[in-house]
Amino acid sequence: MNSFAAVAMLLAFSAAPQAPTVRINGQPIAAEAWNFLWLTRGLAEEASPEVRRQLEEQLIDRELIRRFLADQKVEPNADTIDLRMLQLEELIRRREAEPATLYAKLGLSPEAVRREIALSVGWETLIEQEITPQQLRDFFTSHRAAFDGTRVHVRQIFRKASSPAEVSAAEARLNQTRADIATGRITFEAAARELSQSPTREQGGDVGWIVGLGQLPESVSREALKLQSGQVSSAVRSPLGVHLIEVTERQPGQLSLEDARPQLLEEIASL
């Protein structure tokens, strides 16, 4: 239920698609809740039916959580909500857009954005109350690279794909490219210049350094953080298409569990 990182990918799109009519116990879920998910997931207007189905499931989950938190009288921390609002607006401005303009384009009001952020913060509050220290420690150990400040220098080859057929074709093409790289028929950099549909193609797919889960689609960041220097992933799906990733350098992080505690709780709450 977190993640503003994908907002940067959404700025080129004109609007969220029309919200589906989803009801729980006969009561409709507000369209703004759908639009907020579209904003924070960074989805393209032509997202596949499967992606839309997954988003509808998330929409229902969030609404059920909203009602549960209300029943439990969980009060999210107002300062944390304010901070998240500022972080989101700062990210939008860094991409040379104005928050109010983007919200309006997506059918959102600032009040609706705040309500949706408050939902996420409230859920994190409940998780923090319920999770044991050992559970938190185990989660950190299992996902250390995503939270301890580990940095990886990444190249990618990206192919746009939305329909199942396009995704399948892109995966096959990128997995063949991976095999060609492994046998020395082509370098990753040359393949990126030839095949990638990302703006980074002119730099041989060089994305630069990434830290944690916040700078690329989450599935891509997670895969990159698993790789050692010189390794190339298999094809990775994201809401935008299909990616092939190479890590050219890796720097281990030094953050402790306590340093990463806020981010850990936010991530656990999003599961």
Q: Which residues of 42-57 are buried (b: 16+ CB within 10 A; e: fewer)?
A: bbbeebbeebeeebbe
Q: Which helix (H) or strand (E) holds 216?
A: none
CB 189 within 8 A of CB 246: no
Per-residue pLDDT of the chain (271 residues; tens, 9 = 90+): 445 544 544 444 445 566 667 777 777 788 888 888 887 776 555 566 777 788 888 888 888 999 999 999 999 999 999 999 999 899 888 877 899 998 888 888 999 999 999 999 999 999 988 889 999 999 999 999 999 999 999 999 999 998 889 999 999 999 999 999 999 999 999 999 999 999 999 999 999 999 988 778 889 999 999 999 999 999 999 888 999 999 999 999 999 999 999 888 888 887 5
Q: Are 8 and 42 in contact (CB under 8 A)?
A: yes
DSSP lists the bridge partners of residue 98 as none
Phi-psi region of 206 (alpha: psi -120 to 50; beta: other; left: phi over 0): beta
Q: Is the pTM of this model over 0.75?
A: no
Which parts of the chain are beta strand (E)? 23-24, 27-28, 151-160, 206-211, 236-238, 241-251
Burial (CB < 10 A; 0-12, 13-18, 19+), residue 31, is middle
**Location of structure tokens 């990210």:** 91
Task: Please report, for the chain, the start and end positions of each structural domain, with discontinuous segments joined by +.
Answer: 7-130, 150-251
For 110-166, the pLDDT digits (tens) are 999 999 999 999 999 999 888 899 999 999 999 999 999 999 999 999 999 988 899
Q: For 263, phi and psi rounded to 5 degrees?
A: -70, -35
**Phi, psi (5° rounding) for residue 210?**
-125, 150
CB neighbour list of residue 196: distance below 8 Å, 6 or more residues apart = 156, 157, 158, 159, 205
Question: Which residues are bridge partners to 151 per DSSP?
Answer: 211, 251
Query: If you classify domain 150-251 with CATH, what class do you get?
Result: alpha beta
